[in-house]
Structures are given as C-alpha cells and as structure tokens.
C-alpha cells in the first residue's frame, strides 16, 4: 500500500503526534475525587449503581481512549489518500483504447465499464508516488490530461473519453507514437495500454518500444457489415449499383436480415444465412435517383448458441454521386450517332450547331465542346474539347498524320478515366487518320502501332482526340460508345473526381466557410473555418442540403484469439479511503453508544 497525499515518514510522524496528543489529553483530564459527606453509605451505593460495567476500577477511560485513537488514525489514513499496491515513481503514460469494438457487451457487462475499472486502477497506482499523462487512442489519438497527479482530474477525463467509443478502429501506431514523444526527456517513465485488442497486436504496433498491455474483454461473436458502397452504372445512365458485404465473425451458424433503404424507401430486404466465418456479398441494381442517401442495416441477427455482441457494425451508410448536368456544344453537319447518344444522356444538356456557326458562339457558356470532323477558326481554344474524326488543318487541335485503312488494333488499355469503364481493344477500325501526339499526351488506342486515340491534359486545356468518326469504326454500334462519350465529357468538364459513396470516420470534412453542418445525432455545427475535424461518429452528415456518409468499412471482428482472455480488474482495491472513513465512523458510533448507554436503555 502507498499513500498519494503524504510520504510514509510524514504519515508515521502524523500518526505518532495524534496518538501522543490523545494519550496526553486523557492522562491530564480531571478525574473526580471522593469527598467525605454525611450518610456515606447512601452515596456509595449510588456511585456503585452508576459505575460502567467494564473497566469500572480505572480512573482513565481506556475504552474511549482506544476508540478515539482508532478514529484519529482512520482520519490520518484518509488524509494520506491510500492507494493499492506499490506506487510507481516517475512519469507514466496511460493510453486508453476507444475503438468501436470497445462498445461490445461481454457476459460481465459493457466492455467500456471493464476498461474504466482497469484504467482507474492503473491511475490510482501511478499517481501514488508519480505523475500521469492520460491519452486516448481512437480514430485520432489525443491528450486528455497534461502531466498531473490529481486523481479527480484524471478520472473526470477518463470517464468522458469512454462515454462514447469512436465508430472506427484505434490508431494504435499514432497513439503509441504520441506516448513515446511524451516520454522523451522525462527520464524514468513507462507506457500502459488499456485496450480490448490482443497484446500481440499492440506490441506489433509499438515498433519495439516497451509497452505494458492491460487487456479487457474476451472473445465474442458478431455479425457485421464489413463493406458497403454505391456508384452510378456506366452502362445505364441514371441508375446506380449498391454492393454490400456481410461477414459472420462467429463460431456457429448465424442468420440476419439485410435491409437497404434510400431515405425512407426500402430498396431490398433479404434474409441471409451464414456459416462460421463466412462472408456474403450482395449486389443490388436497377435503382434510379438523382441523389440517393443510403443506409444498410442488419436486423433480427441470430447466432446459434450465442448472441451478437456488437451493434455498432450492424449499420452502414452511403450516398450516390449526384447527377450533375453538363452543358455540351455539338458542332456537326448531322452525325446521327453523336446526336442521339448526347440527346439520350440525362446528365447532358446539348446544343447543336453547324461548323460554320462555331465562331459566333461563346465557348465559355459550355463545359465541353464536341467537334465532329470540324477544324476550329485560327486562335480558337476551349478548356475541354472532344475531337471526333480528326481532320488535318493548320488550326487543328491535334496534329493529324497519314490515312490508315483497316488498321489492326495493336495497343489499348492505358489507365485513364476516359477508358475506365470500356475496352477499346475490341473495336474494329475501317478508316482512320494517324495522330501525332505532343509531348505529354497519352495514347489510349493504337492501330498498326499508330496512335488512334490520344488525350491531352494541360493547365486550362483538356483534349480527347479520335482519329476516326462514326463511319470509320464500329464503336458506335457497341454498348461501350455511350459510356465512352459520357466518361470523356465528364473528364473534359472536370467532373471526373473519384466519387466515394462513404468516407472513413476520422477523415476531415471540408464544408466551406460559413457552411452549417449537422451531425448524424442532429447537433448543429458552425465551424468558423468551414472544416470539421472530429468526424468519429458514423452516419449521414449534412452540409446544407448535401449529405456526406461516414462509416467504417474495416473488418469488424471482436479481436481475440481463442487463447486470449483478459484478466478482470481486482475487486476491493478501489475504495481504501472509503474503507478507513467507514471504520472511523463506526468507531465514533461505538464510542457514543458506550458513553451514552443510559440514554439508549
């Protein structure tokens, strides 16, 4: 046992002083002396009846003296702030995990309650003779308290940290790296990690630095949504595809209902039967929406002979790329394939003119311009141009070479957003012109080793050029044609950013200056700089009228190999101060009872 408030020498001196003072007061207390009066026999009998039952012959009340000493020593112990075990000198850095698996329920109760008890035990021991810095792991490691020995401050910060675990995994490497930086220059110190992860996982993330691991929790079963996403269908413009993955981290068969909703509309409700450790992928198609807000949930989860211990991994969220319209100018003499594919695209607003009218149109009014076998006027430029059926000329955007008759496709498949959803190597070309790329241009298709399709990406200029038109190849008769034109126009209009249906919790949300952000819980935020850094809560965040989804797509198994089982916190070691205070109170009641027994009879 150690004392946090006073050193052992001071405790001994204080206890000795209290005992000596009490003994002196009792020895020097005035005691009644017998006096000779008339009718002595009468007073003697009265005095005998008033004597206490015990220690009747002693002038000094030894029993009250003993009780008073017990009370005083108990108060001295309370002032000393007793702590269990041997105190540790120096600086201790206590890191508390706050990942979403800490929200699981064990047979003994919530895992957060066990983690709180274990962490408090460490804090009480380390603040007895040393100081503590408390850190929280979670998605974004942070310091909860500076170097201190005040237990009340540490306990308050710890309870707030464990009130709600993050909706994602712990950043172990970041937390342990932060702990190592705290210990630099501190001399004697140590790192303690309180977590529900296996010790070998923590030691691997520590990078060889010494860490004491206090594990909580035990192996449990859970059925989790381990992946969820949505995107537009390239071959069916306006429709979107939803994919979900459900995994059973169980030791016995399990069943669950997978329900996918777009706002309040149920898109799918499917019953899944999973074996131990089985993962099942589900794909849903045929849905159309300008802006979808999706939520997938696992309902009615049943595990044979067990239960689903973690509810946080039963939900996932996502959004679908909004159907932003493109303003396109088509310059053609009447190509029916181009006209039809642009007219049928719901994301394109097209205006068609003849080549002779190109000089009278302001190109800044359009996101992309399609030149069908058209040479623009000298000096004409635009930020995004699709050259369809390139023809030679002095003001042409690309240099056009010699003519090719039935060239054999000899190269395709360059990774580029324009051809991300199509395969051009299957195209049969009848009549084309070889293109001469400039420095930095990318060749997307070659015929007889000559460039047939090239792209150019320069500051303020993007070009996609095809050396053949509708009559020169069978591309227009393939399903890939509308997809190719759609992706090319989006790239030219700079709408080609990679769309993610959901972000990982913990990522920064850039809302813009003056934007109003609403958390999934409904709380309204108004970040002054338009940046929200704390996105640890999974769900649909709202920036104005726009929804941004956050959810963890990592494997959500409750990590614990079969040989791992956490030691529960020791009981009865957290209330020594209360114990001594209770003993002192009981001694006071005993003294009062003995000295005032006449009133109690």
The Cα–Cα gap between 572 and 593 comes to: 29
Domains 228-321+499-549 and 326-492 share a fold: no
Gap between the Cα atoms of 187 and 197, Å rounded: 29
| Contact status, residue 302 vs residue 254, Cβ threshold 8 Å | yes
Architecture of the domain delimited by 91-219+561-573: 3-Layer(aba) Sandwich (3.40)
Q: Which fold has domain 326-492?
A: Rossmann fold (3.40.50)
Residue listed under structure tokens 């070309």: 429
SS (H, E, C) 441-469: CEEEEEECCEEEEEEEEECCEEEEEECCC
Q: Mark the ranges of the chain whose per-residue pLDDT is less than 70.
A: 1-8, 10-11, 14, 18, 22-40, 42-43, 46-65, 67, 77-88, 187-188, 234-237, 496-498, 553-601
H/E segment holding residue 341: helix 336-343
pTM: 0.64
C-beta neighbour count of 328 within 10 angstroms: 24
Beta strands in 184-292 (DSSP E): 189-195, 212-215, 222-232, 239-249, 254-262, 265-274, 279-288
- Dihedral angle over CA of 568, 570, 574, 580, nearest 10: 160
Q: Hey, how many other C-beta atoms are within 10 angstroms of the C-beta on 501?
A: 21
What integer pLDDT is reported at residue 288 of this predicted model? 83
Res 571: pLDDT: 43
CB atoms under 10 Å from CB of 177, counted, come to 16
Q: What's residue 304's pLDDT?
A: 94
CATH number of the 228-321+499-549 domain: 2.60.40.10
Q: Specify the pLDDT at position 364.
A: 86
Instruction: Kindly list the domain boundaries of the chain, sorted by start residue.
Output: 2-84, 91-219+561-573, 228-321+499-549, 326-492
Residue 39: which region, alpha, beta or left (left: phi > 0; alpha: psi -120 to 50)?
left
Per-residue confidence (pLDDT) for residue 58, from 0 to 100: 46
For residue range 528-556, list pLDDT tens digits in order: 888 998 898 999 999 988 899 998 765 55
> Rounded to 5 degrees, what are φ and ψ at 529?
-100, 5
């Amino acid at each position: 046992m150690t004392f946090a408030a006073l050193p052992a020498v001071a405790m001994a001196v204080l206890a000795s002083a209290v005992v000596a003072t009490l003994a002196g007061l009792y020895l020097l207390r005035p005691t009644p002396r017998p006096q000779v009066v008339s009718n002595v026999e009468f007073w003697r009998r009265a005095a005998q009846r008033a004597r206490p039952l015990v220690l009747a012959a002693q002038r000094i009340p030894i029993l009250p003296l003993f009780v008073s000493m017990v009370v005083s020593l108990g108060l001295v112990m309370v002032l000393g702030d007793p702590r269990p075990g041997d105190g540790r000198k120096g600086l201790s850095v206590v890191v508390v995990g706050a990942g979403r698996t800490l929200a699981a329920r064990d047979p003994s109760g919530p895992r957060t309650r066990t983690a709180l008890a274990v962490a408090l035990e460490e804090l009480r021991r380390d603040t007895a003779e040393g100081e503590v810095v408390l850190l929280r792991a979670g998605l974004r490691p942070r310091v909860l308290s500076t170097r201190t020995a005040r237990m009340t401050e540490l306990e308050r910060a710890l309870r707030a940290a464990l009130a709600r675990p993050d909706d994602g995994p712990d950043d172990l490497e970041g937390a342990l790296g932060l702990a190592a930086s705290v210990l630099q220059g501190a001399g004697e110190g140590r790192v303690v990690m309180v977590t529900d992860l296996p010790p070998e996982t923590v030691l691997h993330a520590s990078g060889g630095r010494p860490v004491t691991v206090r594990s909580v929790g035990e192996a449990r079963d859970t059925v989790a949504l381990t992946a969820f996403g949505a995107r537009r269908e390239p071959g069916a413009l306006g429709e979107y595809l939803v994919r979900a993955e459900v995994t059973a981290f169980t030791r016995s068969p399990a069943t669950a209902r997978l329900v996918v909703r777009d706002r309040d509309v149920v898109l799918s409700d499917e019953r899944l039967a999973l074996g131990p450790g089985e993962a099942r992928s589900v794909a849903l198609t045929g849905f159309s929406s300008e802006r979808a807000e999706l939520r997938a949930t696992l309902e009615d989860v049943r595990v044979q002979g067990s239960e689903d211990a973690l509810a946080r991994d039963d939900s996932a969220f996502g959004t679908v790329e909004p159907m932003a319209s493109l303003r396109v100018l088509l310059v053609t003499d009447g190509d029916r394939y181009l006209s039809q594919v642009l007219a049928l695209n719901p994301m394109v607003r097209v205006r068609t003119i003849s080549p002779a009218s190109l000089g009278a149109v302001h190109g800044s009014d359009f996101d992309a311009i399609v030149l069908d076998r058209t040479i623009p006027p000298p000096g004409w430029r635009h930020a995004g141009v699709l050259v369809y059926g390139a023809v030679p000329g002095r003001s042409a955007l690309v240099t056009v070479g010699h003519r090719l008759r039935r060239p054999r496709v000899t190269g395709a498949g360059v990774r580029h957003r324009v051809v991300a959803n199509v395969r051009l190597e299957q195209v049969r070309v009848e009549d084309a012109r070889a293109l001469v790329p400039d420095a930095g241009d990318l060749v997307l298709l070659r015929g007889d080793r000559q460039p047939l399709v090239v792209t150019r990406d320069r500051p303020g200029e993007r070009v996609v050029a095809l050396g053949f038109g509708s009559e020169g190849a069978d591309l227009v008769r393939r399903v890939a044609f509308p997809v190719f034109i759609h992706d090319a126009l989006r790239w030219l209009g700079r709408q080609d950013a990679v769309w993610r249906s959901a972000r990982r919790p913990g990522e920064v949300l850039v809302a813009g200056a003056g934007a109003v952000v609403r958390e999934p819980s409904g709380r309204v935020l108004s970040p002054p700089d338009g940046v929200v850094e704390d996105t640890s809560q999974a769900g649909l965040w709202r920036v104005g009228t726009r929804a941004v989804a956050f959810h963890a797509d990592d494997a959500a198994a409750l990590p614990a190999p079969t040989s791992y089982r956490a030691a529960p916190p020791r009981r009865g070691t957290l209330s020594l101060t209360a114990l001594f205070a209770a003993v002192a109170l009981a001694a006071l009641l005993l003294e009062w009872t003995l000295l005032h027994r006449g009133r109690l009879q």
